[in-house]
Chain A
Amino acid sequence: MQNEWLYIGLFLVVGIIVPIVPLVFARLVAPRKPNPIKQSTYECGIETVGESWVQFKAQYYIFALVFLVFDVETVFLFPWALTLKQFPLFVVLEGVLFIGILVAGLVYAWRKGMLEWV
């Protein structure tokens, strides 16, 4: 069990090193002749106006909230799905009831018009 996570940890480390190698190699081989025009922001030839780091309107803000609810609740469903085989039908129906609460939330958001792109 410990070895498994050691493997994942090492995999992550090697997985980060492998993409870095060609980048370092490219830095050694590739030419570097920067100039202001080359380094300017590319927006199809039109000179950029102002910064990009502005307060941007995230139109899917409500979607994000619904996502949060669903994501947390589906994580609770995984233990239920794993142990389903050991339990009688009653437990299955209880899980379905839990999903029903999820569906009620979705229907509520839908009826309230939260699932529209504004």
Chain B
Amino acid sequence: MTFWNNPINLIANWLNGLLTGWHLPGTLATILIFVIGITVLIVFAMVLDIGLVWVERKVVARFQDRLGPNRIGPFGLIQPVADIIKMVIKEDITPAGADRIVYNIAPVLAATSVIVLWAILPLASTIYGVDLNVGLLYIVAAGAMGTLAIIMAGWSSNNKYALLGAFRMVANMISYEIPMVIILLVPTILASTMSVRGITEAQSGMWFAILSPLACLIFLISAIAELGRAPFDLSEAESEIVAGFHIEYTGMKFGWFYAGELLHAFTFGGFMAILFFGGYGGFFGLEKLATFTWLNIPFVQALVFIAKAMLGYWVIMWIKYSVPRIRIDHMLAFNWKFLVPLSLVVLINTAILNKVLSGMPDWGYVTGMFGSNIVIGFVTIEILRAYGRKKRKAETKPAPQAQTQEQTV
């Protein structure tokens, strides 16, 4: 039964014994084991990524009332493999005026920035890369690396559309990083830890999505903006700047931008599952019951986690294909005048209520947290409606009347 309870440690220990048996120094053996583990994890992520290409194409087809890929293999399942073969054998065109070094580094960095996120992604209670005690800051840091790749791609292409796309991405990043970092404080307060695994463990009783639904919502919005997906995909708006930052990329280099974006979306779905929906843990402590102990088997936990992450990914796709792209000034205004104040209010609310209600029984704590979030959400919507009403009134009024009103004020 030990293999089923802790497969990674068992294999690592066995390998360690084998390697030190060959008289390898301990450090070298550790490094070798790490490299093997990392390679397996990354290859798993890449295989998943190939699957995501199929999921994405199939789901977008359904949203647009099409069939999607259905020719190659059953249900078009082999289609992504055909895509990869096509990308690899396409000619790689580098524009004459491009800055070659930066131009070639950018797609690699775009993929790497997503892959490194998998280092801290806990697939199950015993299957994870590393349990950093600053895990949440690591997420933010890796996200900034992805933005850097986009800026490098846009700047080095020597193309005006690409440059515009990169500049828009900077505007996007410097705005939506703020609500994301503030909202990451909410799980930190609730779990008293920044380790991603610790946050998952802290939710074995109650999901943070119930304790703070608004934080979950804000995290989703800022994650979509961080991904640069619709409705925040201004950096690659097809209808105005063609493909934005990756307009000049062909073949596999374009492929990495595409694959990186899909894996990034899935990974953020995974982080949403971890931070707010209990990650690999079951549903509201269900795994503690005697009949559901099988939920504690690592491979089942990994399946549960991937299912939850897929659900998050699906929500991100759902939003992408149903909401139109928003204008850049609206995007910044939405962030600075709505999301940032709201996330600060949610943070203050969580910090104070978490302290005040800590003496209460469980049901009181949960109702208090959930209720306060509902109240905040309701008040926010009322403020927005009042603002909208005012704005509509000002628009319907004839022009001269509005002028006299301004003079009196």
Contacts and interface: CB of A to CB of B under 8 A. Distances in A.
Contact of B185 (A6, A10, A81, A115): A81
A10 B351 contact: no
A70 B251 contact: no
B236 interface: no
B158 A52 contact: yes
Given A43-B161, A60-B174, A96 B42 contact: no
B88 A22 contact: yes
A77 B344 CA distance: 12
Interface residues of B, number: 83
Nearest to B163: A52
24 contacts: A4-B131, A7-B119, A10-B34, A15-B42, A15-B111, A16-B112, A20-B108, A22-B88, A22-B255, A30-B91, A33-B91, A39-B93, A41-B157, A42-B248, A52-B159, A52-B163, A56-B167, A63-B175, A75-B137, A77-B185, A78-B137, A82-B188, A99-B347, A103-B344
Contacts of B157: 41, 52
Contact of A12 (B97, B116, B132, B329): B116
Contacts of A56: 163, 167
Interface string B103-126: 000011001100110110000000
Please classify the interface of chain B as helix (H, G, I), strand (E, B), loop, or mixed, using the class held by over half of its residues: helix
Contacts of A38: 93
Contact of B132 (A8, A22, A29, A115): A8
Contact of A26 (B88, B158, B248, B356): B88
Given A16-B112, A19-B256, A63-B171, A30 B193 contact: no
Given A77-B185, A85-B192, 9 more contacts: A15-B112, A19-B107, A33-B91, A60-B332, A81-B189, A84-B192, A106-B340, A106-B341, A115-B333
B20 interface: no
Instruction: Name the residue among A20, A44, A60 with the largest chain B CB count within 10 angstroms.
Output: A60
Contact of B95 (A12, A39, A64): A39
Contacts of B89: 26, 29-31
B156 to A, nearest CB: 10
Interface of B: 30-31, 34-35, 38-39, 42, 46, 84, 87-97, 107-108, 111-112, 115-116, 118-119, 129-132, 136-138, 155, 157-163, 167, 170-171, 174-175, 177-178, 181-182, 185, 188-189, 192-194, 242, 247-248, 251-253, 255-256, 328-329, 332-333, 336-337, 340-341, 344, 347-348, 351-352, 354-356, 358
B248 A81 contact: no
B158 A41 contact: yes
Contacts of B352: 89, 92-93, 96
B8 to A, nearest CB: 12
B182 A26 contact: no
A106 to B, nearest CB: 7
A66 B180 CA distance: 15
